[in-house]
Amino acid sequence: MDLSKPIPVTEGLWWVGSGGTHNNLQCNPYLLIQGGSAILFDPGSVLDFDTVAEKVSSLVPISELEAIVCSHQDPDLCSALPLFEKAGFTGPICCHKRAAAIITYYGVQNPFYPIDLHEYAYTLKDGTAITFIFAPYLHFPGAIMSYLPIQKVLVSGDLFGSVTSQWHLFAESGYEEGMKAFHEAYMPSHDILKPVMDQLEHYDIKIICPQHGSIIKTEIPYHIQLLRDLPCGIFLEPVRKNLLDAGGHLALCNQIVKRYVAMFGAKEVREALVKSPFVFNAKNKAIQSTKLAEQEIWDAFFDLIHERKGMGWITVVAPAVELMSKEYSIALPDVFRTLVFDAIRNLDTRDSKMQELESARLNLEEKLKHMEESLYKDTVTGLYNEEFHRLFVHEAMAAIADDGKALTFLMISIDNLSAINLDFGSAEGNATLRNLAMVIKRHIEPTSHLFRLSGGVFGIHCMDLDKDEVIRRAETMRTTIAESDIFIVPITVSIGMFNTTEIPQSVMGDLEQMVELTMQTARYRLKLAQKQGGGMLVHASNTANVGNTIFTILLIDEPGLGRDIIRRALEQNHYRVVVADNGLEGRRFVEEERPDIIISELMIPKVSALTLRKELLAKPSTRKIPFLLMSSIKNESTIGRALEVNISHFFWRPVMLVELLGVVNLIANRLQIQGN
């Protein structure tokens, strides 16, 4: 079996994990490809991302993943999510809302699909649905399992996992010992574990795919029953048992031997027992006999293990040995009760707490750094973002009002960024943005400031240069960009320019009006440059004879005759129209195109119109974009929901074009006045 490649588990389901282990734990991501849908389960950690991404990409492009399912929030299971987003994944993250609250802190940008708010199901493109099984506190409050009805597979998350140094992709004989060791250490209580195992009796399960350990393809009822009856948890009150009925101390030692074999391998156990009072049967992987008296066996066995294998082999079975001592009313072996053992356990606890505190401190520092960067730095180019620019421009206007110095603001947009994203993918689009930022930096003075505003738009504030010099340098830069061969395809840029000497004296000193006039005029002139074919600089304007083509309208609706009629009517009125088939495309076009007006059908797929509107309202850069809604379902409920997100224009479908165009023209006239 070549573990360097994806391994088929059953029809449509692939194991896409790494063949390595970390601290005897193996992490297993799974990829479902069915009926046009590609769903990734438990994508794994940052450590395994390169391997997992390579295997996924060999089966389906990461950009075509429909969704990623996370069984819980732990970093070993899903800390790679931001890396998948950077690699092109744009779909939702399916998890419990309790998990989503924590996963957010990994820095994910994609929307969540809270399974508890969607009847614990996710419908695939072929009409079948993944069923989610709630497994609270096993071992996280928002833990879930996923049931695939076509494959009859349970993707079980932490449940049915195992800890072992002898890992196999598919479970072999003795797997249950490592499974018991894992659950004894990580699951809080038998009272919590049992009801979840009882639920599984209602499902036809042929294969269990845990996140840790091995895939279980045989004796499914046995493994479920084993966990259903497993004593575990720190509040355990075990049932008292008779030692003689169990086979005496030697039988208890063999239970520990069985655990050691599962965790370390038979060879290691044989080496530990060779030339000792205990005769080890390699075939049966158990102690066959001993000459020691019954009362000596228990202490002698663990003294021997301690002597030959060290305290690590003692502490790893401590929960099981303590449980046996309670069950059979026998004393703990001497080695477990020595001061050395207690000291080591206390030291381990103290070290563990220190490590947790240090990890928490480093994690907090990293989060603070990430929060600062996410607030004010653009993640693609590393430049200061639109939010920081908003603060900067206020400070700049205050300085101009005080000392009378002039400033020139350039707004630069890549004319063909949308085509690059469409033809080559968002990764190449981002590379284009980074390369453009590098070229611009070479052409500006140290006293000038460069920002990434939104989509393919950059802003430059030029200090200590007069207007004519800025025009000369901007034209040189524009030509250099057009002739550069560092981009995947040649690009051109349009530039709108505003100089603060154009601010009327009546406005000077009113910072809000100064900022608004500067930004609106530069954006208006940028649109003029784009209207005239792009690849040019506009540094002066008169709006008296400007047509509607400076305005971009984003039309979000499923393909069909109704959309085509609206689009033609808008274009006949000389508006530039961009269409999106669903809410996800609409969200992307808002970032790339920054439309002047949005017209959307209420019931669009993937991301609803009202959800998209809420997202736009949450961002200062998009909250003022006029949003027009249309639907054949126009009633008190839908009108009320539209008003809640400040939508004042709601059209009944089929739309009366005269009414729609009248409203659009009024909005365009208002925007044109503001731009002037």
Are 33 and 173 in a shared domain?
yes
The stretch 351-362 carries a mean pLDDT of 63
Q: Say if residues 51 and 36 touch (Cβ distance below 8 Å).
A: no
For residue 657, is pLDDT > 90? Answer: yes
Are 310 and 398 in a shared domain?
no
Domain termination residue (choose one: 228, 262, 295): 228
Are 187 and 274 in a shared domain?
no
Residue 29 is assigned to a structural domain of this protein: yes
The stretch 367-393 carries a mean pLDDT of 78
Give pTM, 2 decimals.
0.43
Dig out the tokens for 409 from the structure: 């603001």
pLDDT at 546: 42
Higher pLDDT residue, 352 or 396?
396
H or E segment and range at residue 99: helix 97-103
pLDDT in tens, 186-233: 787 777 888 889 889 889 999 999 998 899 999 999 999 999 888 776
Q: Which residues contact 572 (CB under 8 A, 6 or more apart)?
A: none
The stretch 356-382 carries a mean pLDDT of 69
Looking up tokens 């002139």, which residue turns up?
Answer: 525
pLDDT at 240: 63
Dist CA 280 CA 285 (whole Å):
7
616: Cα separation from own chain's centroid: 20
Are 212 and 86 in a shared domain?
yes
pLDDT at 24: 59
Model confidence band, residue 8 (pLDDT cutoffs 50, 70, 90) = very high
Q: Say if residues 537 and 471 touch (Cβ distance below 8 Å).
A: yes
3-state SS, one letter per residue, for 141-210: CCCEEEEECCCCEEEEECCCCCCCCCCCCECCCCHHHHHHHHHHHHCCCHHHHHHHHHHHHHCCCCEEEE
Q: Where are the alpha helices (DSSP H) in 329-425?
A: 334-337, 339-376, 386-403, 417-424
For residue 547, is pLDDT > 50? Answer: no
Residue 139: asked if its preceding bond is cis (omega within 30°), the reply is: yes
3-state SS, one letter per residue, for 402-467: HHCCCCEEEEEEECCHHHHHHHHCHHHHHHHHHHHHHHHHHHCCCCCEEEEEECCEEEEEECCCCH
pLDDT at 23: 57
Model confidence band, residue 22 (pLDDT cutoffs 50, 70, 90) = low
The stretch 160-186 carries a mean pLDDT of 82
- Identify the three-state secondary structure at position 308: helix
For residue 326, is pLDDT > 70? Answer: yes
- Which of 179-183, 233-237, 664-668: highest mean pLDDT? 664-668
Domain total for the chain? 4
Q: What is the DSSP letter of 240?
A: P
Residue 265 is assigned to a structural domain of this protein: yes
Residue 571 is assigned to a structural domain of this protein: yes
Model confidence band, residue 236 (pLDDT cutoffs 50, 70, 90) = low
Residue 2 is assigned to a structural domain of this protein: no
pLDDT in tens, 495-519: 999 999 988 888 888 888 898 889 8
Which CA distances in Å does 121 have to 16, 102, 148, 204?
A: 23, 21, 11, 17
Are 83 and 223 in a shared domain?
yes
The stretch 92-118 carries a mean pLDDT of 91
Are 120 and 253 in a shared domain?
no
- CATH code of the domain containing 634: 3.40.50.2300
pLDDT in tens, 605-646: 999 999 999 999 988 778 889 999 999 999 999 999 999 999
pLDDT at 92: 94
Q: Say if residues 99 and 140 touch (Cβ distance below 8 Å).
A: yes
For residue 21, is pLDDT > 80? Answer: no
For residue 356, is pLDDT > 70? Answer: no
Closest CA to 641 of 650, 652, 654: 650
Residue 352 is assigned to a structural domain of this protein: no
Dig out the tokens for 595 from the structure: 């439309």
pLDDT at 628: 97
Dist CA 274 CA 524 (whole Å):
86
- Which of 240-249, 372-381, 472-481: highest mean pLDDT? 472-481
Dig out the tokens for 466 from the structure: 């007069």
Are 164 and 254 in a shared domain?
no
Are 248 and 183 in a shared domain?
no
pLDDT in tens, 24-79: 567 899 999 999 999 999 999 888 899 999 999 999 999 999 999 999 998 888 99
Are 439 and 471 in a shared domain?
yes
Q: Which residues contact 619 (CB under 8 A, 6 or more apart)?
A: none
Model confidence band, residue 370 (pLDDT cutoffs 50, 70, 90) = low
pLDDT at 166: 75
H or E segment and range at residue 112: strand 112-114
- Identify the three-state secondary structure at position 620: coil
Model confidence band, residue 177 (pLDDT cutoffs 50, 70, 90) = confident
Strand partners, 459: 411, 451
Domain termination residue (choose one: 176, 200, 228): 228
Closest CA to 600 of 569, 566, 624, 571: 566
The stretch 384-397 carries a mean pLDDT of 88
Strand partners, 27: 212
Q: Where are the alpha helices (DSSP H) in 536-625?
A: 561-572, 583-593, 609-617
Dist CA 155 CA 28 (whole Å):
10
Closest CA to 397 of 516, 523, 514: 514
H or E segment and range at residue 650: strand 649-652
Which CA distances in Å does 252 have to 183, 232, 443?
A: 19, 18, 78
Mean pLDDT of the chain: 86
Residue 235 is assigned to a structural domain of this protein: no
Print the domain residue range for 448: 386-541
Quote the radius of gyration of the chain (alpha carbons, Å). Answer: 33
Residue 349 is assigned to a structural domain of this protein: no
313: Cα separation from own chain's centroid: 38
Dist CA 502 CA 508 (whole Å):
10
Are 42 and 131 in a shared domain?
yes
Which CA distances in Å does 495 have to 80, 246, 322, 522?
A: 38, 85, 74, 8
- CATH code of the domain containing 116: 3.60.15.10
Helix axes 609-617, 583-593, angle to 10 degrees: 30
Dist CA 241 CA 263 (whole Å):
26
Are 258 and 278 in a shared domain?
yes
Domain termination residue (choose one: 541, 576, 606): 541
Residue 343 is assigned to a structural domain of this protein: no
Are 609 and 510 in a shared domain?
no
What is the separation, in whole angstroms, between the first and last Cα of the chain? 69
For residue 674, is pLDDT > 70? Answer: no
Dig out the tokens for 323 from the structure: 């449980």
